[in-house]
Amino acid sequence: MVFTNKEDFLTTLIFSLHRLKNRQEKGMSSKQEIEDALNQVKLKFDDPKLKPRFVGYTKNMQFTFPDLKTTYVIKVNNGAVQSVSEESLPAPDINVTIDSDTLIGIMNKTINPMTAYQTGKLKAKGNLTDLLKLQKLL
């Protein structure tokens, strides 16, 4: 991972330390850890290597976490994240169902997203092109 500024580096470091501390305290990831992970996805939209791929990209990505009984939505407008919020949409463009520990593992690269998908730990619905773009964010 390449950091473009000190703020991104510090955010990632704090996220990793927070996650490690919580992992030692309990088995299931917390809502805060999930919010931190989704904010990491948000930061990737600003990555200079990925930004050109998302020009004109306007989608609602919904992440459902059955183990936490909650759902989050990342709203993207013209390649920029407008919001990350705990809510549910009736018809999102992309719908991902994943348990919290699997998302955390994917984000810190201890779980391969393709393996998670193939083993049913990650379920995704949406346009194939959108799903391929999502893969770049995880």
Residue 23 has pLDDT above 60, yes or no: no
Residue 17 has pLDDT above 70, yes or no: no
Q: What tens digit of pLDDT does each residue of 41-89 get? A: 898 888 888 888 888 989 999 999 999 999 999 999 998 999 999 999 9
Domain ranges of the chain: 6-137
Residue 25 has pLDDT above 50, yes or no: no
Question: What is the DSSP annotation of 71-86?
Answer: EEEEEEETTEEEEEEE
Q: Which of 122, 83, 34 is nearest to 73 (CA)?
A: 83
May I ask the CATH class of domain 6-137? alpha beta
